[in-house]
Structure 1
Amino acid sequence: MILQGERTRSIVPTAEGTGARILDQRQLPWEVRWVELRTEDEAAVAIRDMWTRGAPMIGAVGGYGLAMAIAADPGDAAIQAAYARLNATRPTAINLKWALDQVAAAVRPLPLTDRAAAAFARAQAIVDEDERLCRSIGEHGLALLRDLHAKNPDRPLNILTHCNAGWLATVDYGTATAPIYLAHDAGLPLHVWVDETRPRNQGALLTAFELRNHGVPHTLIADNAGGLLMARGQVDAVIVGTDRVTANGDVCNKIGTYLKALAAHDTGVPFYVALPYTTFDAATPSGDAIPIEERSPAELTEITGATDHGLETVRLTQSDAYNPAFDVTPARLVTGYITERGVLDRLQTPF
């Protein structure tokens, strides 16, 4: 990822290798602030309170969080308790459970004295693998974007995305944004329509921040503008990320994704979902069985922005609010899945 003109990752180990440094996404785009996580509790707070977010990134932080817990107490009972606490922080994204399973499995057969080192090694391996997976997603997606651009070679390719599925949501490259970054770097002319993504505004605050840092042409739009743009022929493809894809191909992603898929289907615009194998949940048959996280109504009734006096929060309404964080897009509305193994028209087990 390119941040302030330099390449880095969204999560890096601390100098001694027993903790992790992450960007505090609550401060972006107004302030680039790195924070160090050194305990399981700090990792849990970072995930639960949205210091960090995005399914692969949650998994990476969760893996490190469990390693920190094992370093404090490598006993089986303590590991089980820490696993449960971390897994409960964000119930919808399947990558968290996957990463916790990976770290727990790595230490289970080992003597207590060897468990901490093995846990940190597995956590870092998860981080390294995620970068490779996202890079591969980008390469397969780049071929897709080249084909799409060839249909209208005299103008930039217009991509619409929703929420933030970029390098902030992963270790690097992102999922939905990986093809966009590689296409831009390869000289393919493109432009990105960025949904604001209410109520937390991850598009306006995070995706736009990423694209701006990378130099990718983009325009912020209201969440409800996408359908009009598609109907006018101003969108060549929709590419989104996902927090979980079930065995039948249903896609759970940030609230509002389903509406974009419906609009794309009605207007004949291809709708793609980008994901690594770590986000495929073969154990869940369909989207109906996914637990949908409900977040604080304050995310709807309040909004935070920058003023001359710093960041300030104001109320938007005095009414009650209901705030489900995700929705489910049926597999029938998905044109294809951009994965590290290629662009697939369906997913199956094994992935």
Structure 2
Amino acid sequence: MQRRSHKKSRQGCGECKKRHKKCDEFRPQCVNCTTANIKCSFAGNQSPDGDGYMISVGSAEATQSPRPQQAISTQAPGPEAAKAYVNLLHLELFNHWNSNSCKGFLSESTLPESLPLFLGYAFSSPFLMHETLAISALHLSTLRTDRAQFYQDESSKLQAEALRLFNESVTEVTDENLIPAFLFSATFGMHFLCGILSKPNPDLDYLFDGLVQSITILAGVIGVVWGRWADIVRSDVSSMLVIDDYEGEVDDEITQRFENLQGRIGKAPGLDSSQAKVLEDAVGDLILAYKLSYSADPATNRRMVRGVTTWLMKVSSGYSELVSQRQPEALVVLAYFAILLHRCRRLWTVRDAGRVLFDAVTLYLGNDWESWLEWPRSIVYRKD
């Protein structure tokens, strides 16, 4: 089966050119350099007024398990980073979060209890408040299409400022900042993922590299709570957590197809033994994530979204590297992961992300891989 080659970027950073990688041209540090944990040549050329920013969570090894405690980090926008300010737009975003956007992150059944708790932590932790407003702006960009770009730009600015504030104030996780840091890490990771997959992007490399970075960012959630999960479960935010497991046996069509993929993918021609093991483990994590999120009722979105975040936090850095290399079998696994996203489509945070990801995989791989993609296509495009 033919494997696609990368297109070269004329404006890419020096490191990507040396490594023959397609550069996404993010500033002040591109995704490839961030993932590889090397200094990007853009970092020394970023002007103080630049709007670009890059998110980084440790190194590529951050996704391995077990993971040591680590914090989410970013390259700051520059010495002229925007100072804290409040305006009517922020009041609009705050009001929209309380009345609408919060339902994509907090369970509606516990909102009367969980929303005031969440806001209490947001008011005491500016990085969490900025991220909350950034999410609200992203949501409004999907509702007010005539001003979509305006709200998207505001979301990006608020998100960048949230990261800057987080890195300034959370140099280590303590009893005092554990819960705000956890809430920020979880909401930011999902926000970043959904931003990447919010709509089709003709630049497939940008989409796949962004997905790799989402995996790295969500690995930072594990770093934040490593060894402290029991403290979080016992805290006042326990009502926000989905910690109960489905007690019945899960042996439906999706489970069986995932298991068939696990048995098949490691035998694909051209893989060495280590690559085969990485791919089999990634599908095994997919099976676990699906079972943890299982619900016979498709309206139970909160349980279903648990599967999305579980898989992204569990997959190894070895799998992320295969996606970075555009290993076809690794992209096939993403096509199956798109099913978990598609099951959450009623949430505004996810919407069409499953189809966006699946379509990107099929477009990238082409007809040679149709036999691998036929079944997931039937699920992602099944009429409701």
Same fold (TM over 0.5): no
Structure holding more strand per residue: 1
Structure holding more helix per residue: 2
TM-score normalised by structure 1 residue count: 0.28
